[in-house]
Structure 1
């Protein structure tokens, strides 16, 4: 396992643990879950809508997100999201890997 992948796995584990803290929910958005990411990989939560932005965290399949808004940039539709129970952890993900709950 490479160092970046190990870092993303560790970040995801910390984020998932924080999701169980009972924090506030976003009320003005729709619930989705991460789906379709290949086994052993994670969806990258980015600082902005595109692959040129820094990766904030890796999100495994099943992670519940609140989608605030989506916009097409180039050939990809990017969604502004926040973790459902940790809304301060926010960023952008590709809509390709989101499934509405």
Structure 2
């Protein structure tokens, strides 16, 4: 497979993830139920430890996404504290 075709296949696999707008794109936590938080985890899945809870409106830099089971997980860092890194569900992110 040529590099160009491989890049297109990767972009199609990631769908609307950060790859389509460039690595390190800014995204906002959105759609989390009131009184709850999006859990940033140590790895791409619910079996990983929770690093921090993120309320709606939290800004993240998203670097890469991967499909695990039925969930797309994105490697991300807090926009204002980039040393805080982990994985979040793509379902609760929107481009900022």
**RMSD (CA atoms):** 1.2
SS in structure 1 of the partner of residue 31 of structure 2: coil
SS in structure 2 of the partner of residue 68 of structure 1: strand
Aligned: 1:57 with 2:57: no
Aligned residue in 2 for 1:29: 24
Number of residue pairs matched? 75
Q: Of the two, which has the highest radius of gyration?
A: 2
SS in structure 1 of the partner of residue 91 of structure 2: helix
Counterpart of 2:35 (choices 27, 40, 46) is: 40
- Once residues 77 and 86 of structure 2 are traced to their aligned partners in structure 1, the CA distance between those partners, rounded to angstroms, is 6
SS in structure 2 of the partner of residue 36 of structure 1: coil
User: 1:94 deviation in Å?
Assistant: 0.3
* TM-score under structure 1 length normalisation: 0.72
- Provide structure 1 residue ranges, at least 5 long, that are not aligned to the other structure: 1-27
User: 1:85 deviation in Å?
Assistant: 1.4
Runs of 4 or more consecutive aligned structure 1 residues displaced over 2 Å after TM superposition: none
